[in-house]
Amino acid sequence: MRPIQLPEPPSPKLGTPEIFEGGVYGVVRRAVVIGNGYPGSENQSIGLVRALGLADKHVLYRVTRPKGGLNEWLHWLPVSLHKNLDYIIRQICIILKYRGQRRLPLPAENGGCVGLKGVLEADVHQIVTMARQTFEKDGPILVVASGRDTISVSSSIKRLASDNAFVVQILHPRLHLNRFDLVITPKHDYYPLTREAQQQVPQFICKWITPREPPDSHVVLTVGALHQVDAGSLRNAASAWRDEFAPLPKPLLVVNIGGPTGNCRYGADLARQLTTNLLSVLDSCGSIRICFSNRTPEKVSNVISKELGGNPKVYIWDGQEPNPHLGHLAWADAFVVTADSVSMISEVCSTGKPVYIIGAERCRWKFSEFHKSLKDRGVVRPFTGSENISESWSYPPLNETAEAASRVHKALAERGWRLRP
């Protein structure tokens, strides 16, 4: 009897069918993004998913906190405890109401955050059930979360569905990093381990400062924040905004203004310094476009608008749609950015164009480490008012999102999984 001759598998040069590489069980075709309602955090997760080629194959879930009333004072609590406490307060309010006593102000509904409509509430049981029930048909899922409030959800998914999901946590979770398959975080999140930080922290609270251990092999360190800006998005923006920006006198200086934070404090004094410096460089600019963020205090925006609003070279965006941000990134010749936002600075530094920072000397703790790392790389310079904006300079653009995506590919491969081609 002749032996049965089985056909040889197709040559890898022609493409290997999935059946020879573990089938659908080893191919990641979809993603779940766990957000916290803050654009700076969610933009990082969506940027990574986009860089991995899953922009059209992801679902956004959101961890929401109660809003309004006493809740505005309770954001320092873990989100689960905050929700339980909000429930108790509501019950007390109802009891007092029906007993005819003076009613306490009832907190706003949990779904009161802006932009929640149409976004699914993050439910661990629902996501885990979906991952398990669809695994045989659709393969594993990639879970990408960012921000403190998402940690309990993403770590629970990892614990309950480790065979069906690969969990990436963006930004340092502070404790127990082994709860995730991969952690992506800026290097300055490890500032507490440096000699400079340890000199700043009183000895008796050093043991309470995290992180306490250096990063291990499943931690990806970046310089700045992940985002959605890449060569493709800039090309599209350059085309979309051509009619508005191409006719502007050159060089075009774009000024992005954020708002003070706990580690970067400033007010109208910085606004006055900024306007003085902009007036000093005005002769070397063809045009200036200024954008405020939703965190910019009125005392800051009022000073700048009063001093520069009437200048024919200056345009101040009024906040109405469409948002020109991507157009600015594509068409600007140089940027001036306030020092408070890691995300905002990371985006402009991805262009390779001159970036000037104002207010970095007012930052402390890990923010000062972030600015030092950029300055040491030659990526940014301080904005002093003595610059000639027509004189260009460059640097290797920060390519954090693409590099992080490459590490995700590698980590998946080590597990025997891969992303869809």
Domain ranges of the chain: 24-63+122-223+402-419, 231-397
Do the domains at 24-63+122-223+402-419 and 231-397 have one common CATH topology?
Answer: yes
Burial level of 118, CB count in 10 A (0-12/13-18/19+)? Answer: exposed
Residue 286 has pLDDT above 80, yes or no: yes
Q: Which of 32, 54, 408 is nearest to 218 (CA)?
A: 408
In 3D, which of 73, 61, 55 has the Cα closest to residue 35? 61
pLDDT computed for residue 323 by the predictor: 95
**CATH fold for the domain made of 231-397:** Rossmann fold (3.40.50)
What pLDDT does residue 90 have? Answer: 67
> Tens digit of pLDDT for each residue in 120-168?
888 999 999 999 999 999 999 999 999 999 999 999 999 999 999 999 9
Q: What is the pLDDT of residue 208?
A: 83
Do 15 and 42 touch, CB atoms closer than 8 A?
no
What pLDDT does 209 receive?
A: 85
- Give pTM, 2 decimals: 0.85
For residue 112, pLDDT beyond 50 = no
Q: How far apart are CA 235 and CA 214, in angstroms?
A: 39
| pLDDT, mean of residues 198-221 | 88
What CATH class has 24-63+122-223+402-419? alpha beta
- Across residues 98-111, what is the average pLDDT? 50
Q: Is the pLDDT of residue 64 over 70?
A: yes
Entry field: residues in the chain:
421
Residue 23 is predicted with a pLDDT of 59
Per-residue pLDDT, 2: 43
* Signed CA dihedral, 382, 384, 386, 389: sign only: positive
Least confident of 199-203, 265-269, 347-351: 199-203
Q: Band of the pLDDT at 315, cuts 50, 70, 90?
A: very high
Q: Which comes out higher in pLDDT, residue 15 or 206? A: 206
Averaged pLDDT score across all residues of the chain: 87
- pLDDT at residue 348, as a whole number: 98
